[in-house]
Amino acid sequence: MRMLVNVTIPHETFNAAMKDGSASSKMTRILDATKPESVYFTERNGHRGAVLIVDVADPSKIPSLAEPWFLAFQADVEFHIAMTPEDLNRAGLDDYGKQWA
C-alpha cells in the first residue's frame, strides 16, 4: 500500500545535529534504511520537514519508517494512505454512488 509520510522536525533537535555535524549523515542513514519511492524536503508549519512516498507491503513495517525519525530527530511523523489515479479507478466509486444515493 502506498503511503504519504509527513515528517516535521523540531528546530532544536535539527539545529543541534547541524552544529555537531551529524544532520546529513543521520538523514542519509534514514533514507537509505527506509528506501522511499520519492522524498521532498519542505517547510511544515514553520519547521523543517519532509514528505515521503513509501510502499508499505505490511502494516508491521510502519514502525521501521517512523522510528528512525523519532529517534534521530524527535520528529513528528504522520501517515496517510495515497492512491494513484489507477487505484482510484479500481475503487468502484460509481458503484458506491448507486448504493448510497
The per-residue pLDDT for range 66-100, each reduced to its tens digit, is 999 999 999 999 999 999 899 988 988 888 888 88
* pLDDT score at 32: 97
Residue 95: its pLDDT value, please?
Answer: 87
97 and 35 in contact (C-beta within 8 Å)? no
pLDDT computed for residue 9 by the predictor:
98
Q: Domain segments of the chain: what residues?
A: 2-84
> Residue 53 pLDDT more than 90?
yes
Those residues with Cβ within 8 angstroms of residue 47's Cβ, 6 or more apart along the chain or in another chain: 8, 9, 10, 11
Identify the pLDDT of residue 101: 77
The residue whose grid cell reads 538523514 is 27
- 22-51 pLDDT per residue, tens: 999 999 999 999 999 999 999 999 999 999
Instruction: Note whether 9 and 48 are within 8 A (CB).
Output: yes
How far apart CA 51 and CA 77 sit, in angstroms, is: 10
pTM here? 0.87
**pLDDT (tens digit, 9 = 90+) per residue, 14-26?**
999 999 999 999 9
CATH topology classification for 2-84: Alpha-Beta Plaits (3.30.70)
